[in-house]
Structure 1
Amino acid sequence: MITMANESAKLQPGNPSKPELARVIAASSFSGPLPPPQILQEYNRIVPGSANRIIAMAEKQADHRRRLETQVISSDVTNSRVGLICGLLIGLGGLVAATIIAIYGNPQAGVGMGFVTLGSLVGVFVYGSRLRIKERQEKWARNEPIGR
């Protein structure tokens, strides 16, 4: 909300014939889901019941945000579980294939495939851990709540 005061003319002390103009501009702002009580009161004065509607709208928006956050957390947990299961299946499949190759075919190729499988799983685990640590440090630097 910006309000402007009247321009006023004053005579300059050194030159009485030349007036000095002064302009005063005052501004106020707010942030958050609800305006300050004075503004709510003005809304209510202009449109009766509008303050209650504004408060109800803010409450509805807050509930919506909470539901979305709950869905995101639930989705993250599901994605994490699916990732663990897929990693387990890929790792077991790779180790079984490496064992079969080592027993019935080329032992060196089987050992190499086993190392590649285990190395890949360890690499993915280390990468994910570093990514989570970096994300938490960034959130901590921005003073946001850490959800994961």
Structure 2
Amino acid sequence: MSTKHQKSVQASGKNDSGQEVKLVHQEAYQGPLPHPDLLVKYEEIIPGSAERILSMAEKEQQHRHQLENEVIKKEIAQKGRGLNFGFTLALLIIVVGAYLLIIDKSLQGFSLILGSIAMIIAPFFFNKNNNQNK
């Protein structure tokens, strides 16, 4: 619900010394509500319409804020699920690595354990470097 309002006035003539003078006045307005001059005209045509337009703008803003809050809550929940899934997967890989160590498959067991630990630790180092560059 964005409105644009532009008004341009031009006048030309000659000044006292006979030089041609041109006066240009431009006005531009942009916003979620109509220009105040237009709002007055709406009110003159339909009494009470200015209040209805303001109420409509307030409801739209409230709706937009509610949607943004819902999106933020869903993003937080999604990140939490991702962290839980990653932790569970890393734990499972470490358990499998420990099992391989127990049954004398030491190379494969150490590989799984070290690989999963590296995947857990790596984002902290890369994230720290990205924050220092900003």
Q: Normalising by structure 2, what TM-score?
A: 0.76
The runs of 5 or more residues in structure 2 that have no matched partner are: none
Q: CA deviation at 1:91?
A: 1.0
Cα distance between partner residues in 2 of 1:7 and 1:49: 36
Relative distance call for 1:6 and 1:36 in structure 2 (3 A) is: closer
Percentage of identical aligned residues: 27
Cα distance between partner residues in 2 of 1:129 and 1:86: 23
Question: How many residues align structurally?
Answer: 129
Q: What pairs up with 1:1-148 in 2 under 5 angstroms?
A: 1-10=5-14, 13=17, 16=18, 20-31=20-31, 33-35=32-34, 37-127=36-126
Cα distance between partner residues in 1 of 2:58 and 2:86: 42
Are 2:10 and 2:25, in contact at CA under 8 Å, matched by a contact in 1?
A: no
Cα distance between partner residues in 2 of 1:126 and 1:47: 64
Relative distance call for 1:82 and 1:128 in structure 2 (3 A) is: farther
> Deviation above 6 Å: which 4+ runs of structure 1?
none
The one-character-per-residue Cα deviations of 1:61-94 (angstroms, maximum 9, x if unpaired) are 1111121122112102211221121012101111
Asked which structure has the greater RCO (Cα within 8 Å, sep 6+), the reply is 2
Are 1:7 and 1:22, in contact at CA under 8 Å, matched by a contact in 2?
A: yes
Are 1:12 and 1:20, in contact at CA under 8 Å, matched by a contact in 2?
A: no
Moved more, 19-28 or 116-125: 19-28
Relative distance call for 1:128 and 1:58 in structure 2 (3 A) is: farther
Larger fraction in strand: 2
Q: What SS does structure 2 have at the residue aligned with 1:9?
A: strand
The runs of 5 or more residues in structure 1 that have no matched partner are: 138-148
Cα distance between partner residues in 1 of 2:129 and 2:71: 21
Relative distance call for 1:37 and 1:27 in structure 2 (3 A) is: closer
Q: Normalising by structure 1, what TM-score?
A: 0.70
Moved more, 44-53 or 59-68: 44-53
Cα distance between partner residues in 1 of 2:104 and 2:114: 17
Q: CA deviation at 1:96?
A: 0.6
Cα distance between partner residues in 1 of 2:40 and 2:129: 51
Q: What SS does structure 2 have at the residue aligned with 1:48?
A: coil
Specify the code of the residue in structure 1 equivalent to 2:28. Answer: S
Q: CA deviation at 1:114?
A: 0.2
